[in-house]
Structure 1
């Protein structure tokens, strides 16, 4: 199948009106709540809980929990996305999945807050991930459902910014405001539910497809495949950088206070990513180009990793954090606009975007399997040299997407 076969989405786009600032604000709020709930436990809460339930094997338990959560996401998001494509209710097709998912996610957090063993912790996290996967599937599909192409970069920029903002706010929430472990889980649940409410009350599905549609497999056009591979490699590069950052600061740079240093590096990365996501998204709309921004984002992320490999010093680590943040924020914003532009059918956007969620979840599982042998053979120099090449290659692959400028 050639790129000329991808015709359904552009036809629908011609009849869309521009989304309002209120629509974008409500989407950004709901998306921030989603990412706060997804990332905060993975980055903070599960590690603390694993140390309680398995002090002698906390690393293994944490790895099992995060790997299991990523596997659930990789399977559930495409399934829920496909189901939402064919859902027809008085509340629309996406809202039932966003609303039901956030309630199920909150139930999972209640389970986690009351967990009494490693097993109940893992089961609670699976329930939470299932609920949040439904939210992710329904929420992300509203962008190609509702947003016309001239606004894709702007809205995608806000969407990309919310991932980093959710991570930052979640870290502050459970480390500064609600430090108790159980209360932290409950706070994450409350924020996720509250953030989704304005979107759920105001969002209306457009009449983009007939109620009954024949089932079909994902049509893997070359453009779709290149876009998927690009996202997978860049996300793998980011996972390789972030998952071993604390150990890099401790073992390679030998900083005096690793936790404080990690917080500083993370803050630089997140703030740079947020600014870059909003700027790059609007800029790509203005110039009418997408691929160059995605390629530059992957290249900057890779350059930051190469700097960490070749010059392992604290000042370079801070500069690298800024490069990684700008690169990742740029990539997050404009890559989503590229993906939305190459989807093969307006009637299956939830399913097809769910397939792209695998390109985000799978690297979280693959990163440790790649990193452990590389660290054993070549240390952090080898790990971050590999990371730089992976991220740079991921950014470059988007240039093979022919149907997007």
Structure 2
């Protein structure tokens, strides 16, 4: 029977070369149990000391969902906590992605009819601010000491900011105000989702990473589709096209905050003062010391740059290829998105389980990028709904496989997991956020340079996306050495 653990050729930074790599935040050895921690759930917290070598103890779950110890002494996260994690990811993804995919286009069509390029600017500016906020919140959460733990305060703050952004976007009277609201929304919901992702880095053992990453990736596909379907029912109402995703996000994320107890960590030990120099230095790392993390980051950056070229203009692309108005795209977009969900189910769940079972990551990454490139090529030349659905099925399958296995790969090579998981997860997010910030501008420039008249040259855009994605897969396949 294949080993269910990911095999590595070298130990993670500060960790001995053990059969299982710890995903928790608690080193073994001279740890102590702090009175009252995690509401009596028995979770241990390390005092201020260097990271210890060797296997790590099981992390007991919160009182709601007990966990069991797995092979290698790493705690398995319970099903209840997994369910709440997936539920929160679903809501946060709907609140963040559905407006970007549909609501912003609807609102801009009212505020500035025919100004397609404004969508790229709006999304791009929001991505820039999100890019700046992500490392700050990640680093600060690593350093946070509170009775609620280090992640939950930032999940709460992100939720509140996301809620505040909703009426700003809904009642915007010009594109500038809409952009300001979108900036608040991306920072808010992005912070909430990032904090939930940091919780995964803190708690998931190797044998659960592929499976749970698959579930969260699947919800990231399902949530926008569900959001678009709901928005389509109220597409004439300026408030509810933004309000419905925000309401769902609030319910889901609040459930995670309330029921998943992270625990009091005020006795975790003192920290060195955070100077401006130390803060700026935390944005970067030495790729020579962490080569596999560096190559993984670069492969993700190139892949997501290609993917982001296509996502910003999908509504206008479908309207042009199907010969319908932007306000009529919702029904077609729902059909196309349903195809992506079907692919996501098979791609994320299947690939996530198999990558854990076979203890392989890199071959799945390569297959994923080939599938995305093929799907993007089919979409580039599609001019009817059937062809668009076919292209979406193939490309979405690739995206699902890449996202599920790629997230597990990141957790496998993540440096300093016990003390700086938030920092390195934030650095990892750069590989997606920087393309998300730059690609809308690049796509706008590419369309303006290659289009003739009012007909936008989306063919070149999608072919370029496919080539970049393929390059990202090759980088990961050929350069990452410690993970198979």
What TM-score does the superposition give when structure 1 sets the normalisation length?
0.89
CA distance in 1 between counterparts of 2:476 and 2:107 reads 40
Q: Which stretch has the larger CA shift, 306-315 or 183-192?
A: 306-315
* Paired residue secondary structure (1:181): coil
Give the aligned partner of residue 303 of structure 2: 234
RCO higher in 1 or 2 (8 Å CA, sep ≥ 6)? 1
The match for 2:135 among 78, 85, 96 is 78
Q: Is the 8 A contact 2:101 2:315 kept in 1?
A: no
Q: Is the 8 A contact 1:227 1:339 kept in 2?
A: yes
Cα offset for 1:242? 3.3
CA distance in 2 between counterparts of 1:242 and 1:61 reads 14
Give the aligned partner of residue 120 of structure 1: 177
Give the aligned partner of residue 55 of structure 1: 113
Q: Deviations over 1:263-283 (max 9, x none)?
A: 432321233123311221122
Distance 1:131 1:387, change over 3 A: closer
CA distance in 2 between counterparts of 1:176 and 1:205 reads 38
Return the structure number with greater helix share.
1
Give the aligned partner of residue 4 of structure 2: none
Cα offset for 1:63? 2.4
CA distance in 1 between counterparts of 2:442 and 2:161 reads 33
Q: Is the 8 A contact 2:23 2:204 kept in 1?
A: no
Give the aligned partner of residue 151 of structure 1: 208
2:427 counterpart of 1:355:
yes
Give the aligned partner of residue 397 of structure 1: 475
Q: Is the 8 A contact 1:80 1:133 kept in 2?
A: no
The aligned runs of 1:360-371 (5 Å cut-off) are 360-371=432-443
Distance 1:332 1:179, change over 3 A: farther
CA distance in 1 between counterparts of 2:184 and 2:387 reads 41
Give the aligned partner of residue 109 of structure 1: 166
Cα offset for 1:56? 5.4
The match for 1:274 among 317, 342, 345 is 345
CA distance in 1 between counterparts of 2:126 and 2:170 reads 17
The match for 1:19 among 66, 77, 85 is 77
Q: Which runs of 4+ in 1 moved over 6 A?
A: 310-313
Distance 1:118 1:270, change over 3 A: same
CA distance in 2 between counterparts of 1:166 and 1:111 reads 22
Q: Deviations over 1:197-237 (max 9, x none)?
A: 22112323377x94334556343321111111111122122
The match for 1:42 among 84, 92, 100 is 100
Q: Is the 8 A contact 2:101 2:312 kept in 1?
A: no
Give the aligned partner of residue 382 of structure 1: 460
Q: Is the 8 A contact 1:86 1:211 kept in 2?
A: no
What TM-score does the superposition give when structure 2 sets the normalisation length?
0.76
Distance 1:70 1:224, change over 3 A: same
Q: Which stretch has the larger CA shift, 72-81 or 311-320?
A: 311-320
Larger Rg: 2
Q: Is the 8 A contact 1:75 1:358 kept in 2?
A: no
Cα offset for 1:164? 0.9
2:280 counterpart of 1:223:
no
* Paired residue secondary structure (2:76): coil
2:366 counterpart of 1:295:
yes
Q: Is the 8 A contact 2:145 2:268 kept in 1?
A: no
RMSD: 2.8
Q: Deviations over 1:346-404 (max 9, x none)?
A: 21111211122222222233334444555544844433332222111112222221121
CA distance in 2 between counterparts of 1:234 and 1:123 reads 28
Count of matched residue positions in the alignment of Structure 1 and Structure 2: 402
Gaps of 5+ in 2: 1-8, 25-55, 59-74, 273-277, 452-456
